[in-house]
Amino acid sequence: MERDLKRELTKFGLLAAGFLVFYFLPFSEKHVQEAIIGGFTMLGSYAREHVLFCLVPAFFIAGTITVFIRKDAILKLLGPGARKIISYPVAAVSGGILAVCSCTILPLFGGIYKRGAGLGPAVAFLFSGPAINVAAIFLTGNAIGWEMAVIRMVAAAISAVFIGLIMQSIFKEKGSGGFAIQESGEQLSWQEAVGFLALQMAFLIVGGLKIDPIVKASIMTVSAVAVFIMAIHFKREMRNSWIGETWDFAKKILPYLFFGVFAAGVISIALPQSFVESLLGGNRFGSTLFASVFGAVMYFATLTEVPIVQSLMSLGMGKGPALALFMAGNSLSLPSMIVITKLLGKKKAFTYFGLVVAFATIWGYIYGNLLQ
């Protein structure tokens, strides 16, 4: 009864907040109109550039991990009982091979967390996926310099391990993911499961590479056709479980993700650029902290953070805030924060957000002042 009352009060609060926004917001003002258009523009850009070839494959991969990858294999490498010297480096490296943004990593994180991975290794994977993006490291080296690229990679790898260890030590639990598992009565052989997963991973990874369009299209087409052929040969129960798990991830993540992308687009227009630049100059602790918080809230599509940081550095942004923006901006965004809160709950989610901002700030300050 008390839970129902709380739910109804929450609904009432949301309705009241929406009414107040629509009642008082000056829609006739030009800057308000531009901010709203900015939100829809970012949402449209995200839908065109990321949904079909990033998020959709990621949802299918998450479904594959949940249904076909044996739970004991996940537990052996990433479970709470696994040796830390193995589980955390494996989580960091396996996340880093994916050229994905802070939103595309979410269904993959949900898949391994749901399948029994310890909270610590799962969080290390969640952080490292976008933060140690191999494609972004090479682009950083070419555009800004290899000193920044190397320190970015090292700082992100070390931070992923320590953030995971801290989360595991605080909450001491294995994954549940906030989803209901649909166990299939039949299981694929490990060769079939790994092959099926590898084909989908190839589609996702190649889709994010800057290579010859014909080569990219050929590889992605072959991978997609091979996945389709394998899927139609599965038993109906297994195929339905796979599709059901994929849809379960999509319906629970996409609505929050789209709302967050829209909000990030509004903020990116509403927040004056001159104000941001004045707070990011030099290598002060305050500017580094602001860069971490700003990066955590804003949404950067895969690889787009490099030209943005490069532009800000040309306007006077210090190296320390630049590193902090890279680390926090890749790992978090307003859309991903909304979804992570949905998956982990407020307590664990906000602990993770705080750790990301803290580690990004510390590394940025060290790099800006002590490693020059």
Q: Phi and psi for 57 in degrees, rounded to 5?
A: -60, -35
Please name the amino acid found at residue 81: G
Q: Distance (Å, rounded) from C-alpha 112 to C-alpha 131? A: 18
| SS3 at position 118 | strand
Which tokens is 39 given?
A: 């939100």
Q: Please write the tens of the pLDDT for every residue from 209-250.
A: 778 889 999 999 999 999 999 999 888 888 898 999 889 878
Q: What is the pLDDT along the chain (372 residues), one digit of tens a residue?
A: 666 777 788 788 889 988 898 888 898 888 889 889 988 987 888 788 777 777 788 788 878 877 887 666 665 777 666 778 888 888 887 766 665 666 778 887 887 787 777 788 889 988 987 877 666 777 678 778 889 989 998 999 899 999 999 998 998 765 554 444 444 455 677 788 889 989 998 888 888 777 888 999 999 999 999 999 999 988 888 889 899 988 987 887 778 778 877 877 787 787 676 766 677 777 889 999 999 998 898 877 666 677 778 767 776 788 999 999 999 988 888 888 988 998 888 999 999 999 999 999 999 999 988 866
**Where along the chain do its domains lie?**
30-369
Q: Distance (Å, rounded) from C-alpha 150 to C-alpha 140? A: 9
Q: Distance (Å, rounded) from C-alpha 77 to C-alpha 75? A: 6
Contact in structure between 182 and 111 (CB atoms under 8 Å): no
**Helices 346-369/285-297 angle, 10° precision:** 140
